[in-house]
Structure 1
Amino acid sequence: MKKLILTVTFLAFYCVVIAQTDAEKARAKVGKAIELMDNGSIDESIVILEECEKLDPENYLYPYEIAFAYVKKKEYEKAIRILKKTLEYDNINSLVYQMLGNAYSYSGDEKRAIRTYEKGMKKFPNAGNLHLEKGNIFWFQEKYDEAVNNYRKGIEVDPMFASNYYRLALLYLSSSDKLTGLIYAEIFMNLERSSARTREISKLIYKTYKNAITLGKDESSMDFCEIVIDAKSLEDGGDLKLPLCAIFGKHFVLGMFGMEKVNSESIAKMRASFIERFFEEDYKQYSNVLFDYQKKLLDAGLLETYTRYILQMGDSKGFNEWAIANERKLNKFTDWYLDKENYMEVTQKNKFIN
């Protein structure tokens, strides 16, 4: 009886293997190809991907990955030929246009790259990645205003796509409008929580606060932005609405009183003080997703700990010393922050574009 059961089990397994489709065989192989590519064995990866393409010729994934392999090898013409054919597949996504545009850009044909991104935008109007890549071309051409406009447009159509915030943060944090840069930077850190770029931005945020705040016995000052009043709107009979820079300064400066050093501890207290005052008076007119998120953290008793987290790469020694002494606080924040219900969600209604 035992022998019969074993025989039946074997036959059932054999039938499942025989029934496996070519498409399933291709999907089983592709993981190994990606692993080889990531480890630098690009030619071996291409061989496997070409086998996958023969098994499942209707799937655009395999020629896309082959083209990506050629991009990594800097064989851009080969990549371009493959990607142009890949555009003819059904169910492609914006990444195909992105890589084709990038291949043109890397080969020195920036005009064709832009045309490719723009064609992709028509097919995928909500593709923030295509606006990013178009902006990057202007960035490298040092046409920063045009780069900013494209990154902003990327946020407008795809507010949860992190990379446009990253680029805008870098641009604004190197300008006189550091407040806008800080907002973009912190939104980015919440959308892309753990990466080399996140660590880079953490350092920049801390450095910006350190450089923008001057504390003295008799006089303290801050330099986050320049206050510009739109006089023309007043001449035309419009209502005066102060720029965000003025509102921020009005509330933030009050949190600086009594502070002796600019470090993670004092910055955390200043930021908490700002949010308390801001939500007492001005949040309805100037609300944005970041300030709303900080208020949520304040109400949970976690804003100062969150600020320590945001600044940790800029003040790693201070953060580590604080973390050892405040293990319970850090654990409470970590549990809250890792709960998906507490992830920042940027929508068309609450997105920040400045």
Structure 2
Amino acid sequence: MKKLLILPMLLLGALATFGQAGVVDAHKQAMDKAKAGDLDKALSIIQTAEQSYPDNLSLLKDEAFINTWKKNYTQAIEVGKKLVANPDADEQCYQILGSAYRGASKYSEAERVYTEAVDKYPENSLLYAELGDALKQNNKLPQAKDAWEKGIEVGPSISSNYYFLSKFYADQKNPLWSVLYGEMFINFESFSGRTSEIRTLVTDQYAALFATPAVLQNYIDNGQGFEKAVATTFQQFQDMVTGGVTPESLYALRGQFIVNWFNSDNAKQYPFKLFDRQQQLLKLGIFEAYNQWLFASYNQSRFSNWGHMHDGLIKEFSKFQKSSMFKVPKGEYYAHN
């Protein structure tokens, strides 16, 4: 799978400050054309500007971006190599070259570029996300997992690491971490093209988590501190889903989980932003609407009917969802098996 974060990167270029007005004008004109779909004209504008400002880092970035967007990966790689060789090269230069290599399915080269990048910029979480994807494409799953986990540790508010790990842990039959990371991703990206995919995954992984009592018991017996605490708390209320893992039973179980978590020492010993968010939703009276939305894939028509019957709650939750930013502080990363 190729996840080339081209448009967000393109927009980042507009934030740079340049000494030459001609570079700024060329960048703006080219980006306007690119966003309108005229990539050939956008590339022509940049190449014309490069005649007056050769080796300008901003223009080289734009040239590589546009070529990658055009799927002209050979040219994008050639320009990307110039970028990382530039003495003023920054993190974005490595992302550009790595994205071009990934687009061309040259994952070994992408892995090499991203490895060099995280050595130079060890606090850049997005680089770890892209390194992990390259490693995955090279069939190096344990190393990919480690890269994504490191990305969460150093930059806990970058969503892509959670996205990749929620899917990885689902494949590895590790539903506890799949639901935790998956739900965190959904709170970072509530409206992206990836949201529906992970909402469905989280619904399925909750069913796997409560498939048999042995699943939670395994985390209690073999897990590390945080996951033991989470599994032990879930275990206290697992009888609530014996009749089926549905949006309604999960709403009841998860509500009891949060009340118990914050009435115990767990909340102080293991601060966790996702649980803070759930407690906030409970206090606001919109936790049920959130759960119905989160687990809508269980039965979409049933969710639609619930929404019609609880229109006020849905609107209140939707307003909160659109106005509230989810951000995770450093220091809430917990090692686990």
The bucket for the TM-score relative to the shorter chain is: 0.7 to 0.9
**Cα offsets for 1:122-164 (capped at 9, x unmatched):** 4333211211122112212332211110001111121111100
**How many angstroms apart in 1 are the aligned matches of 2:309 and 2:263?**
32
> 2:29 matched to 1:46?
no
Q: What RMSD over aligned residues (CA atoms) do the two structures have, in Å?
A: 3.0
**How many angstroms apart in 2 are the aligned matches of 1:138 and 1:52?**
37
Cα offset for 1:69?
A: 2.9
**How many angstroms apart in 2 are the aligned matches of 1:44 and 1:225?**
60
Cα offset for 1:94?
A: 1.9
Alignment match, 1:326: 310
Contact 1:131 1:154 in 2 (8 A): yes
1:271/1:321 Cα in 2 relative to 1: closer, same or farther (>3 Å)?
A: same
Q: How much identity, in percent, do the aligned residues show?
A: 26
**Cα offsets for 1:275-323 (capped at 9, x unmatched):** 1122222333333221122112222222222111222244321221111
**Cα offsets for 1:93-136 (capped at 9, x unmatched):** 42320221233345465443323212222433321121112211
**How many angstroms apart in 2 are the aligned matches of 1:297 and 1:107?**
44
Alignment match, 1:33: 33
**Cα offsets for 1:38-74 (capped at 9, x unmatched):** x3x4333311232344466575333223223333444
Alignment match, 2:6: none
Cα offset for 1:329?
A: 1.1
Q: 1:198-347 to 2 correspondence within 5 Å?
A: 198-213=195-210, 221=213, 223=215, 226-227=218-219, 229=221, 243-244=228-229, 246-256=231-241, 260-281=243-264, 282-340=266-324, 343-347=325-329
Contact 1:251 1:277 in 2 (8 A): no
1:243/1:104 Cα in 2 relative to 1: closer, same or farther (>3 Å)?
A: same
Alignment match, 2:3: none
**How many angstroms apart in 2 are the aligned matches of 1:316 and 1:205?**
15
**How many angstroms apart in 2 are the aligned matches of 1:203 and 1:163?**
17
**How many angstroms apart in 2 are the aligned matches of 1:61 and 1:88?**
14
Alignment match, 1:175: 172
**How many angstroms apart in 1 are the aligned matches of 2:163 and 2:149?**
11
Which moves more between the two structures, 320-329 or 169-178?
169-178
SS of 1:146 mapped into structure 2: helix
SS of 1:227 mapped into structure 2: helix
**How many angstroms apart in 2 are the aligned matches of 1:62 and 1:252?**
58
Q: Which of 131, 135, 148 does residue 134 from structure 1 map onto?
A: 131
Contact 1:202 1:310 in 2 (8 A): yes
SS of 2:237 mapped into structure 1: helix
1:228/1:268 Cα in 2 relative to 1: closer, same or farther (>3 Å)?
A: closer
**How many angstroms apart in 2 are the aligned matches of 1:104 and 1:309?**
38
**How many angstroms apart in 1 are the aligned matches of 2:87 and 2:304?**
51
Larger radius of gyration: 1
1:211/1:138 Cα in 2 relative to 1: closer, same or farther (>3 Å)?
A: same
**How many angstroms apart in 2 are the aligned matches of 1:251 and 1:54?**
69
Contact 1:131 1:151 in 2 (8 A): yes
Say how many residue pairs are matched: 316
TM-score by length of 2: 0.81
One-letter identity of the residue aligned with 2:72: E
TM-score by length of 1: 0.78
**How many angstroms apart in 1 are the aligned matches of 2:97 and 2:175?**
34
Contact 2:61 2:93 in 1 (8 A): yes
Contact 1:64 1:83 in 2 (8 A): yes
Which moves more between the two structures, 295-304 or 281-290?
281-290
**Cα offsets for 1:321-346 (capped at 9, x unmatched):** 11110011112222233334xx2211
Alignment match, 2:330: 348
Contact 2:226 2:334 in 1 (8 A): no
1:250/1:307 Cα in 2 relative to 1: closer, same or farther (>3 Å)?
A: same
Contact 2:30 2:41 in 1 (8 A): no
SS of 1:176 mapped into structure 2: coil
Unaligned runs of 5+ in 1: 1-19, 215-219, 234-239
Contact 2:34 2:42 in 1 (8 A): yes
Unaligned runs of 5+ in 2: 1-19
Alignment match, 1:148: 145
